[in-house]
Structure 1
Amino acid sequence: MRVHHLNCGTMTPIGGRLVDGRPGLFRHATLVCHCLLLETATGLVLIETGMGTPAVADPERWLGRRFLTLSKPVSRAEETAVSQIRALGLDPADVRDIVLTHLDLDHAGGLVDFPQARVHVYAAELAAYHAGNPRYRRAQLAHGPQWTPYEDAGDDWFGFSAVRELDGVPDVALIPLAGHTTGHAGVAVHTDTGWLLNAGDAYFYHSEIDEPARIPPGLKLFERLVQTVPEQRIENQQRLRELRLTSDVTIFAAHDLTDFERLSRPAHA
């Protein structure tokens, strides 16, 4: 298996170091949409999709005015998952499976670019969408994705409940990490060099699951504003902190620039 780390959507909210922790206050911060592309023996697997090509062509309809105002995404066709797959000399039509942490617009917006793919997601997340939760962008999912939901998380993964047998996707597991959303899950990938865990939005800053924890105040406020189940979010962050201390699992947050820079070169194999 070959693993590529892709940034499928840069966001530049105001706040500088209060948001991304880097020097300078009077500037725009930088956040990413950290996705994984897996080259496997049976085809390509995409972990998260970013915002998708319609976010470039028609951002207000696809992302909404509120998201555009607060997150200030950069409109770059070359950052879409489709474009990056082609740039690697691969065919987007070979993406057979997509595994998502959750259905927020910056994680699932690119599903429309891969209509041939099965979409693996934790069932509680899909149920929240079908129940009409307004946080999800209906336009992004109107094409009718090929959902493959999972309810049973009875397997064990480093002490976490897990779905270890995804249909047709070996070496990938869903790790329920509710808090940000009710059905939020991490996506674990077993590579030749060990386990990678895309923790999605279970936390937002690379040192938030360090001991002691540290997160810029603006990002901490945002994290609280968008959470769904606060108690579970805090509990799962502590469990991730313990996992980092007691294992060799490589954990990363979906929007943290430092994590992305650390892992994007060289690619894991």
Structure 2
Amino acid sequence: MCPLGRRLLNGEGGWTAPAHLCCHCLLIESRHGLILVDTGLGTRDVTHPKSLGRLFNGLVRPRLQMSETAVHQIRELGLDPREVRHIVPTHLDLDHVGGMADFPQAQVHVYGMELDAALSRTSLHEKSRYIPQQWAHGPQWVRHDLNGEKWFGMDSVQAVPDSDDEVLLVPLAGHTQGHCGVAVRTDSGWLLHCGDAYFYRGELDDEPNCPIGLRFFQWLVAMDNGKRLANQRRLRRLKDRFGDDITMTSSHDPVELALMSSAANYRAQHAWDEPDLLERSVA
């Protein structure tokens, strides 16, 4: 995504230059099939960009390429998109679920509050962020309530079915009513995909920092800004106490995505290395 105002949104560069933001997905291979965290913009969004709305297209300026859709990238990995059994959206904003229709066989796991808000669209705010055409195919919704176990001090955490308790829904409301993070157990610890709970890597620092444009945007679109800020504080405490066990990433920070991709590529290319050497190198 290439909105104008690089300095306001990326913290460097020209004031009117295009910024660089992303909206990435996370694909998980489980014993029971594939699990997709967020779907990004889908094939219909690429072929019918007007459906995204003039406001979104004009301000966000998405680079709509079929090769960047999740379904295309899954095929490029040599995998079958029909093996995506579960989709776990961090929330139902248009840039996170546009690709749902590309996986009609998948169950879609979402908190009840988020699903109700998206389906009813009772406020102007909700009408602008939720696009019913993106789920006109009739997804297999699976509603989740706010109950579950504790996970590193986080409350009401529950597992995604068929994940062997290795993919977890973590409540992180604020950006939307039913926003969630998704925790994934990996060979090197836990990965917590925080979605839009924060937008800039500096927001998890001991002394949080964020480009002013991104800070204003998060305040502007938050459904409950108090909860959003409270959950950012919880994430900072989580990083401070368990940073050796949990790696966190958000949806829109391109630097975080580049670091995650580099680490994943390194692990793939050096899978034969001794585990302790690999962990030191990645760290």
Q: Is the 8 A contact 1:19 1:219 kept in 2?
A: yes
Which residue does 1:255 correspond to in 2?
252
Q: Which amino acid aligns with 2:23?
A: C
Q: Which amino acid aligns with 2:135?
A: L
Which residue does 1:42 correspond to in 2?
32
Q: Is the 8 A contact 2:146 2:171 kept in 1?
A: no
Which residue does 1:151 correspond to in 2?
145
2:187 and 2:143 mapped to 1: Cα distance? 27
Comparing 128-137 with 203-212, which one deviates more in the overlay?
128-137
Q: Is the 8 A contact 1:153 1:176 kept in 2?
A: no
Matched, 1:16 2:6: yes
1:19 and 1:258 mapped to 2: Cα distance? 13
Give the TM-score, by structure 1 length.
Answer: 0.92
Q: What SS is found at the alignment partner of 1:254?
A: coil
Q: Which amino acid aligns with 2:25?
A: C
Higher relative contact order (CA 8 A, sep 6+): 1
Which residue does 2:163 correspond to in 1?
169
2:120 and 2:156 mapped to 1: Cα distance? 24
2:112 and 2:162 mapped to 1: Cα distance? 17
2:180 and 2:147 mapped to 1: Cα distance? 11
- Give the superposed CA RMSD: 1.3
Identity fraction in percent: 50
Q: Which amino acid aligns with 1:84?
A: Q
Which residue does 1:86 correspond to in 2?
75
Q: Is the 8 A contact 1:162 1:173 kept in 2?
A: no
Matched, 1:73 2:62: yes
Q: Is the 8 A contact 1:50 1:109 kept in 2?
A: yes
Pairwise CA distance, 1:129: 1.6
Q: Which amino acid aligns with 2:89?
A: L
Matched, 1:264 2:258: no
Is there any run of 5+ residues in structure 1 with no aligned partner, and where? 1-10
2:19 and 2:6 mapped to 1: Cα distance? 4
Which residue does 2:188 correspond to in 1?
193
**Out of 175, 181, 205, which is 1:180 matched to?**
175
Q: Is the 8 A contact 1:150 1:163 kept in 2?
A: no
Q: Which amino acid aligns with 1:104?
A: D
What is the total number of aligned residue pairs between the two structures? 258
Comparing 205-214 with 146-155, which one deviates more in the overlay?
146-155
Residues 52-96 of structure 1: per-residue CA shift (max 9 Å, x gap) = 1111101111x1111001100001111000110011111111111
Pairwise CA distance, 1:215: 0.4
Residues 203-261 of structure 1: per-residue CA shift (max 9 Å, x gap) = 11011111111100111111111100011011000010111111131111100001100
Give the TM-score, by structure 2 length.
Answer: 0.88
Q: Is the 8 A contact 2:30 2:163 kept in 1?
A: no
Structure with higher Rg: it is: 2
Pairwise CA distance, 1:127: 1.5
Which residue does 1:210 correspond to in 2?
205
Q: Is the 8 A contact 1:207 1:213 kept in 2?
A: yes
Q: What SS is found at the alignment partner of 2:142?
A: strand
Residues 126-155 of structure 1: per-residue CA shift (max 9 Å, x gap) = 121232241310111111110111104231
Residues 156-181 of structure 1: per-residue CA shift (max 9 Å, x gap) = 01111133232223311111111000
Comparing 153-162 with 112-121, which one deviates more in the overlay?
153-162
Q: Is the 8 A contact 2:182 2:194 kept in 1?
A: yes
1:162 and 1:53 mapped to 2: Cα distance? 34
Q: Which amino acid aligns with 1:198?
A: H
**Out of 215, 221, 228, which is 1:220 matched to?**
215
Q: Which amino acid aligns with 1:156?
A: K
Comparing 199-208 with 33-42, which one deviates more in the overlay?
33-42
Q: What SS is found at the alignment partner of 1:163?
A: strand
Q: Which amino acid aligns with 1:220?
A: R
1:260 and 1:70 mapped to 2: Cα distance? 22
